[in-house]
């Protein structure tokens, strides 16, 4: 089957997007197709496959399949590029609309200049802080703030948050040189996390600036993670380390996140089309 696609990136977190209004993929093939297309040597190369689908609950539906074939509930950088592409295709007609995701219905707002989308602000909803709901084992419905976790030969302090998908935030002295490839996969599959976890290793520069690196569940190290940036801000506030609006420097760019008075997190960042084409799957 020949499949038309478009590749987009948000802060270097890159995705293959497929318009499923114009062509159909059998759901049973999602995992295999994602693994094939996301392979950086034999495929297009991406952190995940994003499908644009009709919804009976919102204006449009997003599904995201990780590079390893597993499905993610949500992706912050993914929903920005999804929103920009849906608007470009004319699948939505307004600059603010609703998107059905595995984490619920979210609302992106497109920022337009000279007829083009220059950035996207997404209402990412409220953070989930109860251990069983994240999920992280051993804490019941209590919050998991600066709790000990032993990984390999070292004990870290973790703060856990769900933004529709699980996150473990660890504050470190030097995020740039932290051995993320050594510890990232061990956090992901740690027994504390029954559905595995995304892990953010975060250095606080000052109260309004942090440096974050991320090991993503199902994708390994990525250049950015939007839900991870929201989890990082939440953890920073809960630990008294940051203000409620923070500029977050990632490997692939900068996101600006705010934890507003209504308890919703708002994430603003770029959405850039890289190229489009077709391939056999």
Which residues are catalytic, by number? 75, 225
Number of C-beta neighbours around residue 238 at 10 A: 19
267 contacts 76 by C-beta, under 8 angstroms: yes
DSSP state of 241: -
108 contacts 91 by C-beta, under 8 angstroms: no
Q: Cα dihedral sign for 75, 78, 84, 87? A: negative
138 contacts 149 by C-beta, under 8 angstroms: no
Number of C-beta neighbours around residue 177 at 10 A: 10
Rounded Cα–Cα distance for residues 196 and 190 (Å): 7
Number of C-beta neighbours around residue 185 at 10 A: 16
């Amino acid at each position: 089957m020949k499949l038309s696609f478009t590749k987009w990136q948000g802060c270097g977190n890159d995705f293959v997007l497929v318009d499923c209004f114009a062509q159909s993929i059998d759901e049973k093939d999602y995992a295999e197709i994602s693994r094939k297309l996301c392979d950086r040597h034999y495929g297009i190369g991406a952190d995940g496959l994003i499908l644009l689908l009709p919804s009976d609950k919102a204006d449009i539906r997003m599904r995201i399949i990780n590079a390893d074939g597993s499905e993610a509930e949500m992706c912050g950088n993914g929903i920005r590029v999804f929103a920009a592409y849906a608007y470009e295709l004319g699948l939505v007609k307004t600059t603010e609309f609703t998107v059905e995701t595995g984490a619920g219905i979210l609302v992106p707002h497109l920022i337009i200049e000279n007829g083009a989308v220059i950035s996207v602000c997404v209402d990412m909803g409220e953070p989930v802080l109860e251990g069983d709901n994240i999920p992280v084992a051993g804490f019941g419905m209590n919050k998991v703030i600066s709790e000990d976790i032993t990984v390999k030969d070292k004990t870290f302090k973790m703060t856990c948050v769900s933004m529709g998908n699980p996150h473990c935030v660890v504050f470190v002295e030097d995020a740039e040189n932290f051995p993320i490839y050594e510890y990232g996969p061990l956090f992901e599959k740690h027994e504390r996390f029954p559905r595995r976890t995304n892990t953010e290793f975060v250095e606080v520069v000052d109260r309004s600036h942090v440096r974050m690196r991320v090991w993503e569940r199902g994708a390994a190290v990525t250049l950015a993670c939007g839900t991870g940036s929201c989890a990082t801000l939440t953890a920073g506030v809960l630990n008294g380390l940051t203000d409620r609006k923070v500029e977050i420097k990632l490997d692939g760019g900068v996101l600006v996140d705010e934890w507003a008075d209504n308890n919703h997190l708002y994430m603003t960042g770029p959405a850039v089309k890289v190229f489009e084409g077709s391939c056999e799957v």
